[in-house]
Structure 1
Amino acid sequence: MDQLKDLTTNAKISMSKWNTILKNLKETDQVELKASTQLPKSFWESCSSFANTAGGCIILGVKENFSGKNEILGLDNSNKVLTDLWNGMSNPNKISFRVIDNEDVTVLKIKEQDIILVFVREADRMHKPIYINGKIENSYIRTGDGDRKIKEEELKAMARNQSLSTDKTPLPYYTLDDLDHASLQRLKSMTAARYPARDLFALTDEEFLIRIGAARKNRKDNTLVLFGGVVLFVGKTNVIRELYPHFHLDYFEFKSDSHHRWDYRISDDDYLNGEINLLTFYEKVQARLAAIVTEPFSLDMDLRRKADAGLTETALREALVNALVHADYLMSDGAIKIEAYPNRFVFSNPGEMLIDHREFFSGGISIPRNELLMSLFRNIGAAERQGYGGIQIYETAVKRDWKTPDLKSSLPRTTLTIWTEGLIDLDPSLSEHDKNLLYFFLKNKDQPGFSFSELLKKTELSEYYLRKSLNSLIEKGYLNKRGAGRSITYEMK
């Protein structure tokens, strides 16, 4: 979608070039072609689905042909189509929230036929779901190359994304007996060791929980009221499952990519051998990672980072905490799954990440789904400054010359893959010239892009091999090509 929008601002793109682009364009998760010569009713469904997912482009006046070139139909009256579009966009009974502005609509005239491109932005979480015809059940979501009505569970997930801090839900009928005593004492000792000036050891368990914001007093009857997050963090496993029926924690180690059988596992299914809550799972997984990573962790007795800890530790620890803190534990697929392979670690949790990919990897912005859990992890020294975990993961990959971390996030699930092999080593199909060129781009990720002439000077490849390698890396999905003619630049994906 971004590439299409870039093309609309490039005055050098001729209408014949646009004709070629539109005839070869296929529907995807971010592109929708509408064959109608007017504004079809299905436009609003696609508008809702793109706004509720990751944004997209609706192209009016083009019919997709699955077996050949698309057909440019054009619009009967583009002015009327635009009038209907803007009237509908301004009518809350047609669409619940306006998701396009003037700069998001482009009209092209191709061989005397008008084509309209409408770029729909993803809506802010506070405005989702975007629905049509005045009924919230008329909300759509984009899956693959089609629009589908949103499910009830997905509507509830969007509502939770608006409110946040579901882990601060008060539990008036739960008591200290619902917490695992050993886990609570572990939390207390780790927090007290981190903040010795507060003299937390002198507090009773009730006083301690109130002090750290994990509980409060009921002022009517003076009873202790626990919050949901502290039960997740140090509760008994059966009590957690009572509150969160789909709660499930799994850690797997695989010696190969066969997936047929794990070689080592940590799971809440093992709770009969000891309570499994977020704290005990974190400690067990952290200790296991320490035993298998090629760069040894540097941890103290409390599994907290020492000043001389390595880059790998920081990246994996931040990813583990991130998965536990940002999970939506009320999703029907509420499982958190951590997988360790010889060349990568995969961290998967239920729920959509509440900031976009660029914000996550650039740092400084954090919208934790569970603020109490984030606070508890910080109290034990398991999390860095809020909002900087993503950039530490990214910078570790850069410094190690690893493949760029892969982050995928949708309403039901977020998955982060941290590679521990270099990008170049992962693909045996790359030629030596391909590898040299790719290595150059890896070392210059901070640059916005390079022209062909710049690459010719900086890489010292011949013109023939440079063109060949550029085409190869674009085809394999490593590089992006932006612009047209002399303004073409190349950059890492």
Structure 2
Amino acid sequence: MLSEKELLNILDNKEKVNVEFKEAKRGVPKSIYETYYSFANTNGGMIILGVKEIKTGTAVNYEISGVENANSIISDFWNTINSGKVNRNILKDADVYSLTVQGLELVILHIPRALYNQKPIYIGSNPYAGTFKRNFEGDYRCTKESVNSMIRDSFQNAGDNEILEWLNIGDLDKNTIAVYRTRFRNNNEGHIYEELSDKDFLTKMGAYRFDKKRNIEGVTSAGVLMFGKTETFNEIYHNVNLDYRDETNLFGDMRWSDRIIENGLWEKNLYNFITKVYPKLISEFPVPFQMKDSLQRNDETKLQVAAREALVNSVIHADFKEESCSILVIKKDNYISYSNPGLLRIPIEQIYQGGVSVPRNITLQKLFRFIGFGESAGSGYDKILAPSRAEGFQVPELYENQDMRITNLKLWIVKKEHGALSGALEKPNHILNEKEQIVLNVIREFPNLNRKKIFEKTKIPLTSLDRYLDKLIALDLIQKKGSRKTVSYNVKNTDI
């Protein structure tokens, strides 16, 4: 319960997105119910009855006016909530109470955020007409798409186990399945699934399913997402874009220095996307040199694990049935941004506390977990927070865009006291990734090399080599001499 001091502080701060004042002198205002639905369907909030709004020009202030009979107002409110006017009552007795402030009675209503399987909360019998949400402008009626999203989320296992009975194993990409199974064997040595046929293996993993009750079988939605051929993926998920952009080391009018999108050169599915993107995300991190394969290391840093967990989270929590749907990963100089369609199924503060996870796509979570991508239920976000808790990095920022129904995570790859990737380490040569270090070593060993000679010795593609050279120059580690065709490179500080 609020204290008088706490309420006066709220009053001084005026109305916010999660606080609503109502005058309510003699009864329950009708508009209170729209606010109740709005808070419940968004992030919760507080309604305070007995406060009058006073406008002076453009200024708005609030004054305690009190209610005449708090008990009567509370009783009327409960009667309405329980009468069928609202489809579901999510309040407890302790959420509604009276409070005396400056000798006047007020009524306080704490509205929690509804659980994902309780939404939508709406008035009457039609969710498309009676569902509201809340933003900084107040309460607003939800669109049909927003209501559909809440209805989908209300089913525990509606994410990725749907049987697509017109599809068979031939609609999946054999090479993706083969590569996945190789990684599965490496990660689960001696597992009893190793000797199964592809169909039996995919059935065990949830990518193919039999429904005896309905007498149907077929590839599941998770199977298409994880292993689908491009044409199969686009047939079922024509709305889904998979997009990675590297926006580091830009100069001139460059919009990105590297990008992964559908281009006909790889089969569009989540396995290929994730395994292509992850190495690029950590390519400029300090990289341990002892490796199991290109994706998993014996000696991974907390930051690498966090980057991988965040990447997997963006797909296991995604709502792939949203009309406008992009898995968008952007690498910046200071942070990595992960965006996925669909709002969080539990409150942000609960996620930060750890130990709880309610993914939409349970089968995808299983498929990634078996190859070492993704932690057990509830521990994934703990891994994402680990660099900030243990190593001084900035705390990741988790954000929901209620209007666009998008969740965004910003994973900082800098420490609090620094403003660039170099902030994570102390010595200049330690801020380089493995390939940048190779370039630096070659230039140190063979002074006055030109670009072509460096390429011949390192075999690093010229587009990447140019970026590495630019970075080494910017860090004052090397210098170039000459112009155009006569340009050569030397180490600037031989003590490094």
- Smaller-chain TM-score bracket: 0.7 to 0.9
Matched, 1:235 2:252: no
What is the DSSP-based 3-state SS (H/G/I as helix, E as strand, rest coil) of the residue aligned with 2:282? helix
Matched, 1:49 2:42: no
Residue-by-residue CA offset, 1:143-199 (whole Å, 9 max, x unaligned) = 224111122111211122121432110011112222122111111221123233236
In the superposition, relative to structure 1, how do residues 266 and 163 fare at CA in structure 2: closer, same or farther (>3 Å)? Answer: farther
* Larger CA deviation: 210-219 vs 175-184: 210-219
The share of aligned pairs that are identical, in percent, is 29
In the superposition, relative to structure 1, how do residues 22 and 325 fare at CA in structure 2: closer, same or farther (>3 Å)? Answer: closer
In the superposition, relative to structure 1, how do residues 298 and 247 fare at CA in structure 2: closer, same or farther (>3 Å)? Answer: farther
Contact 2:291–2:297 (CA under 8 A) maintained in structure 1: yes
More helix by share: 1
Amino acid across the alignment from 1:266: R
Equivalent of 2:169, from 176, 180, 189? 176
Alignment partners' CA distance in 1, 2:272 and 2:46: 46
Amino acid across the alignment from 1:229: A
Matched, 1:247 2:240: yes
* Bigger radius of gyration: 2
Alignment partners' CA distance in 2, 1:346 and 1:297: 26
Alignment partners' CA distance in 2, 1:206 and 1:23: 63
User: What displacement does 1:222 show?
Assistant: 9.9
User: What displacement does 1:400 show?
Assistant: 1.8
In the superposition, relative to structure 1, how do residues 148 and 351 fare at CA in structure 2: closer, same or farther (>3 Å)? Answer: same
Residue-by-residue CA offset, 1:224-279 (whole Å, 9 max, x unaligned) = 61111011001022321221231111111112799975323434332x11212101
TM (normalized to structure 1)?
Answer: 0.77
Alignment partners' CA distance in 1, 2:90 and 2:250: 43
Matched, 1:346 2:337: yes
TM (normalized to structure 2)?
Answer: 0.76
Backbone CA RMSD of aligned residues: 2.8
Q: What is the correspondence of 1:316-335 to structure 2 with a 5 Å cutoff?
A: 316-335=307-326
User: What displacement does 1:206 show?
Assistant: 1.6
Equivalent of 1:80, from 72, 81, 86? 72
Alignment partners' CA distance in 2, 1:277 and 1:151: 30
Matched, 1:26 2:19: no
Unaligned runs of 5+ in 1: 428-493
Alignment partners' CA distance in 2, 1:298 and 1:158: 45
Alignment partners' CA distance in 1, 2:253 and 2:87: 47
Contact 2:23–2:52 (CA under 8 A) maintained in structure 1: yes
Alignment partners' CA distance in 2, 1:196 and 1:394: 30
In the superposition, relative to structure 1, how do residues 260 and 115 fare at CA in structure 2: closer, same or farther (>3 Å)? Answer: farther
Amino acid across the alignment from 1:330: K
What is the DSSP-based 3-state SS (H/G/I as helix, E as strand, rest coil) of the residue aligned with 1:338? strand
In the superposition, relative to structure 1, how do residues 46 and 218 fare at CA in structure 2: closer, same or farther (>3 Å)? Answer: closer
Q: What is the correspondence of 1:431-446 to structure 2 with a 5 Å cutoff?
A: none
Amino acid across the alignment from 2:398: L
Equivalent of 2:146, from 154, 160, 163? 154
Unaligned runs of 5+ in 2: 421-496
Amino acid across the alignment from 1:210: T
Alignment partners' CA distance in 2, 1:59 and 1:223: 54
Contact 2:115–2:345 (CA under 8 A) maintained in structure 1: no
Contact 1:25–1:70 (CA under 8 A) maintained in structure 2: no
Equivalent of 1:285, from 271, 277, 289? 277
Amino acid across the alignment from 1:392: K
Equivalent of 2:116, from 125, 131, 137? 125
What is the DSSP-based 3-state SS (H/G/I as helix, E as strand, rest coil) of the residue aligned with 2:298? coil
In the superposition, relative to structure 1, how do residues 217 and 385 fare at CA in structure 2: closer, same or farther (>3 Å)? Answer: closer
Contact 2:400–2:406 (CA under 8 A) maintained in structure 1: yes
Alignment partners' CA distance in 1, 2:419 and 2:107: 42
What is the DSSP-based 3-state SS (H/G/I as helix, E as strand, rest coil) of the residue aligned with 1:197? coil
Aligned residue in 2 for 1:143: 135
Amino acid across the alignment from 2:40: A
Contact 1:325–1:370 (CA under 8 A) maintained in structure 2: yes
Q: What is the correspondence of 1:52-71 to structure 2 with a 5 Å cutoff?
A: 52-64=41-53, 65=55, 67-71=59-63
Amino acid across the alignment from 1:405: P
In the superposition, relative to structure 1, how do residues 98 and 211 fare at CA in structure 2: closer, same or farther (>3 Å)? Answer: closer
